[in-house]
A and B are shown apart, each in its own frame.
Chain A
Amino acid sequence: MEKKLVIAGFGGQGVMLAGELLAEAGKEEEKYVTFLPSYGPEMRGGTANCHVIVSDNPIASPIIANPEAAIIMNLPSLDKFEPLMEEDGILILNKTLIPKEVQRKDVRVLSIDALTIAKELGNEKVTNLILLGAYVTVEKTVSLETVKNALKVFLTGKKEKLIPINEKALDKGAEIAKEFLGEK
């Protein structure tokens, strides 16, 4: 098994956290993992993306030229990554901020009104985890439970109280993904 995911959006949308969380979960499941962030001036406010690879075997290149899966959190990121997607790859979109249809017919699309759902859950900052919950459910890169466990590594101290709402967000994403997969 080798799974390659690109997560892209605005700085501040939790792109990096979602990626690090998946990497940590992969590590906890004793898989090989790489997490490669874009960095620099675009870190705040601009577009940000990260490449996460989770594999049963040692990982050579940490760079994903053609993603087989992408979590896309805003419109500029869709414009950037849609043309790069592998055939039959999956785009998981934050529909709330992407008022546009995917043009390509050879990719799968799971479009989630994630920001709206996050607001309903009570914290728009968990948009990223709704999408991540959907991703791991569709791609089965790691188990949802491991991702939840990994939250403890990142949400410590004052942030610890945010764990329940983040777990809820992951669950919500997973639920939507199951519907998408026709498992429900």
Chain B
Amino acid sequence: MGEKILMKGAEVIAEAAIRAGCMAFFGYPITPQNETPEYFSRRMPQLGRVFLQAESEVAAINMVYGAACTGTRVITTSSSPGISLMQEGFSYIANSNVPCVVVNAMRGGPGLGDIAPAQADYFQATKGGGHGDYHSIVIAPHTIQEEADLMFDAFDLADKYRIMVVVLVDGLMGQMMEPVEFKDWVDVKKFKTPEWATVGQGDRDHRNIITSLSILAEGLEKMNLHLQEKYRKIKENEVRYEEYKMDDAEYAVTAFGTVARISKTTVDMARKKGIKLGLIRPITLWPFPTEIINKRAEQLKFFLDSEMNEGQMLEDVKLAVNGKKPVYFFGKLGGVVPTAEDILKEVEKHIEGGK
């Protein structure tokens, strides 16, 4: 760890990725995250690494796919409409079992939407998004410091499971500044080309083929079973969440990313008023922290799920609670960011309604 630097979230993503050993960036400009590729474009050539501005998001994700097939740490960053264009590539990457990191700085949708912060791509990120039965690991930092730390984990997880890792942030986190301290540089000289990589057969006694294709249904079923087995391991080992003032809580907010951060203020405000409110914040959105939410349902009177969308994570919270307690929802749409006061008002409304 070094000294603290005041940096914009969008630039922190790039610097953290670089320190984590990211060797290549491919991407296409889109607001509100242009500072990320711009930062890469300055730093990567200085380090002898690859920066390439692609002709489209479609091309960018397929360049990532190609680079990932060589076992190189590679990233693309974009925002909602650009991420939509990449979905086909995500699906191929999933069934090819190659590692990469994708950052989505979500903005308001659908369609061209706006460039304000949103969380409306939760379904797209956690439920697949492209075609076929697949998942990506989805991590959602809630502060700039956490964003800096999790970029390292994103690359490690991608390599560990040969999977795509999505870092889900929003325009607000991209634009805000906060002092950050970066972890130590990963020594890229220690990187070795993995045995499965397609870089030319060389001295290997066999050749490598990376494909998402198996024309025989039984073969494709096998590939799918392999994926499902991998997902089972990830669910077992990689669930992350944070609990905030949950020990004695009677009510809980569930939220991720920016809204989770805002909700911490809500919790503090509620506590001052004597309301025993806590927060459960999923850090991995997939795999989802189902168990802890189910366990906490025992002690709580209700959950209030809050998101900058129409209730997407809400479905996973409800599945986790499994009918044990009411799960209410409060959301803002189209790029409007809720305040801590807004969320508290909702909590109080439901406490009142329960009396």
Check if B339 sits within 8 Å of A36, measured CB to CB: no
Q: In chain B, residues 129-188, which have Cβ atoms closer than 8 Å to a Cβ of chain A?
A: 171-172, 175-179
Determine if B275 is an interface residue (Cβ-Cβ < 8 Å). Answer: no
Which stretch in B60-68, B190-198, B214-222, B260-268 binds the other chain? Answer: B260-268
Q: Which residues of A lie under 8 Å from residue B115 when comparing CB positions?
A: 39-41
Check if A60 sits within 8 Å of B261, measured CB to CB: yes
Determine if B74 is an interface residue (Cβ-Cβ < 8 Å). Answer: no
Chain A: residues with Cβ within 8 Å of the partner, total of 20
Contact of B341 among A33, A37, A39, A65 (CB under 8 A): A65
With A27-B4, A35-B6, A62-B176 known to touch, is A40 a contact of B337 (CB < 8 Å)?
Answer: no
Q: Which residues of B lie under 8 Å from residue A65 when comparing CB positions?
A: 339-341
Q: Mark B317-351, 1 if CB is under 8 A from A, else 0.
A: 00000000000000000000101110000000000
Q: How many Å lie between the Cα of A60 and that of B4 in the bound state?
A: 19
> Which residue of chain A has its CB nearest to the CB of B260?
A60
Q: Which residues of A lie under 8 Å from residue B267 when comparing CB positions?
A: 60
> Which residue of chain B has its CB nearest to the CB of A36?
B176
> Which residue of chain A has its CB nearest to the CB of B343?
A61
With A27-B6, A33-B6, A40-B32 known to touch, is A63 a contact of B339 (CB < 8 Å)?
Answer: yes
| Contact-size category for B | 20 to 34
Closest CB in chain A relative to B242 CB, distance in Å: 12
Secondary structure of the A contact surface, majority rule: mixed
Q: Which residues of B lie under 8 Å from residue A41 when comparing CB positions?
A: 115
Closest CB in chain B relative to A121 CB, distance in Å: 27
Determine if B31 is an interface residue (Cβ-Cβ < 8 Å). Answer: yes
Closest CB in chain B relative to A102 CB, distance in Å: 23
Check if A34 sits within 8 Å of B340, measured CB to CB: no
Q: How many Å lie between the Cα of A33 and that of B4 in the bound state?
A: 11
Determine if B116 is an interface residue (Cβ-Cβ < 8 Å). Answer: yes
Contact of B265 among A24, A37, A60 (CB under 8 A): A60
Q: Mark B98-119, 1 if CB is under 8 A from A, else 0.
A: 0000000000000000111000
Q: Mark A21-54, 1 if CB is under 8 A from B, else 0.
A: 0011001000011111101110000000000000
Determine if A82 is an interface residue (Cβ-Cβ < 8 Å). Answer: no
Q: How many Å lie between the Cα of A104 and that of B10 in the bound state?
A: 39
Interface residues of A (CB under 8 A from B): 20, 23-24, 27, 32-37, 39-41, 60-63, 65-66, 153
User: Can you spell out 9 A-B residue pairs with CB atoms less than 8 angstroms apart?
Assistant: A20-B177, A23-B6, A33-B6, A39-B32, A39-B175, A40-B114, A41-B115, A60-B340, A62-B261
Other contacts beyond A33-B178, A61-B261: 16, CB < 8 A: A23-B6, A23-B177, A33-B179, A35-B6, A36-B175, A36-B176, A36-B177, A37-B175, A40-B115, A60-B262, A60-B268, A61-B264, A61-B266, A63-B262, A63-B337, A63-B340
Interface residues of B (CB under 8 A from A): 4, 6, 31-32, 114-116, 171-172, 175-179, 261-268, 337, 339-341
A-B CB proximity, top 8 nearest: A60-B264, A61-B265, A35-B177, A60-B265, A65-B339, A61-B262, A27-B179, A36-B176
